A and B are shown apart, each in its own frame.
Chain A
């Protein structure tokens, strides 16, 4: 009896699919927006733009974003009356946000602070309290039936993954209302990409048939393996370049090329105009 219920639940569960790829400009956002828009014609779909350094999905779909919430990060506030100028806070700060010389008040550079709180713990005189700074925003939007969330890092703020974490919280709150959640990640493999992949059930790595594409694909496949994520490869611009180098990379990491998108000037034109890009049969990658 219990088992039967579990099986039913697993079928009804929302599927969270990440679109990633390592290398920039391989077509992650094109695939993510096209897939989400296509699926949304028949299913309940949420598209999440988690490339918070450079979010562009709203531009690709011509979505006007509404401000949903502001993401703030805590930062220390120094009380000069209590400060004994001991210099301990500067010593424990690993991000060089506090410059402190014994005998002088600490100089604080809020842009560099990641809010870890080591300074507050070490301060012997209770001279540090919490303040906060805005580090980014979360937006929402809609394109026909497609619901949309987008995170954006404020420039010169270093910790992108806090914005992604905030998006993850929003996903958690809403996920029961959707059949599919498509997460578009940033390029690369560092913190914000890892945070965006954390909740995904499955990840597609979008790549291109060039040595650079193959090199960066290998890194993202290694990351997916380390995170125990199931994944497949989408080969974009499959007919220009050398497909063999991607095929051998896929084989090396026991990954499959799930879908191929031939080079198309039509796609580039739709993309540059901000129209939903039509990739024929793209929704077939979700079975």
Chain B
């Protein structure tokens, strides 16, 4: 098991190196230039342009910039944002808990609803429930996030006035951030109503963010269940006269869950992508919104280091998924 973990960890190094290259290149491949974007409509003289470029080190050949960047990374320096001038890591740490909180709630919603829906759809294959839920999943999967979010805001916040429009908590509440998780901090603050406010602010964004993973998880659960249900051991269990609940709960579900757990793990990456749009529409101060702002401002250091941090986290989550997988299915460990 230790060797398994070590080999996986070792594998992270070249991957991360590859990501630095891609992230570094990606933002520079985009047309547009941070110096000109800073100057905007007012323009900038060639001398001034040269001065700023030199200050930022962008006058050097690109490979040299890359190696400088790598050198700084080795020393734990992710660089400073060229817009806010602040360290990228400090900005990331300040915003990351907001994204994690949203992602956790979203993945819980997606799993808690997605798995049972998939199981029932598989058991009652061809029924109206199966048809409606799978059509729903198809729609959910192809829903444009931005439109979907705005639709929910207009209906639930605008017309019904059930939920707040955007943000993480009502501005009435003001307390120090201890963990960065609003649900926890609001409880710690001891302010009455703060927790309820934080929770109500989470509803719409987490639903929007959960939509695609929910659809994927439901469909994956359904097909995994169907496959397992056709296996010999399930038929044997059924033939032995075991109660249906036991056949499904113990024999089928346990094996069907193996690919489903992988799917859930892989959805973490999807959540990160979805967070970019969800956070933008709900003014959710997380890393998704931070990345999109930084890309549009060509804030090179933020984009290249931010992507690296996000990729690192997605890979660690995937590693954990692999390990869980190994726990459920011992055969994997010995490969």
Are A and B bound to each other? no
